[in-house]
Amino acid sequence: GSGRGWGKMAAGGAADAQARFGHSVKGLLTEKVTSCGTDVIALTKQVLKGSRSAELLGQAARNMVMQEDAILHSEDSLRKMAIITTHLQYQ
């Protein structure tokens, strides 16, 4: 009778080991999913920061063009005023 009892214990031990293995695999999988989620969040933040930087650079470039136009206009006005001043001095 002892042969059959040993078979049940071995089967029970195997089932227990399988349950433990399944549990550890679930734990590892959960860790990996959490880690992957964290990485995706970090990547998303980096991409958003990059697009924000590009947006700011574009804005700075537009501002520089506007400033350049204003400087050229001022330069032109100064040149005209210099000509007028010269004419007034001759009169």
What is residue 81's predicted lDDT score, i.e. its pLDDT? Answer: 93
Query: How do residues 73-89 score in pLDDT, each as one tens digit?
Result: 999 999 999 999 999 98
> Mean pLDDT of all residues in the chain?
84
Cα separation, 32 vs 12, in Å, equals 30
What mean pLDDT is predicted for residues 65-70?
92
What is residue 27's predicted lDDT score, i.e. its pLDDT? Answer: 84
Cα separation, 20 vs 12, in Å, equals 12
Query: How do residues 34-64 score in pLDDT, each as one tens digit?
Result: 888 899 899 988 888 888 888 888 999 999 9
What is the residue-wise DSSP string for the chain? -HHHHHHHHHHHHHHHHHHHHHHHHHHHHHHHHHHHHHHHHHHHHHHHHHHHHHHHHHHHHHHHHHHHHHHHHHHHHHHHHHHHHHHHHH-
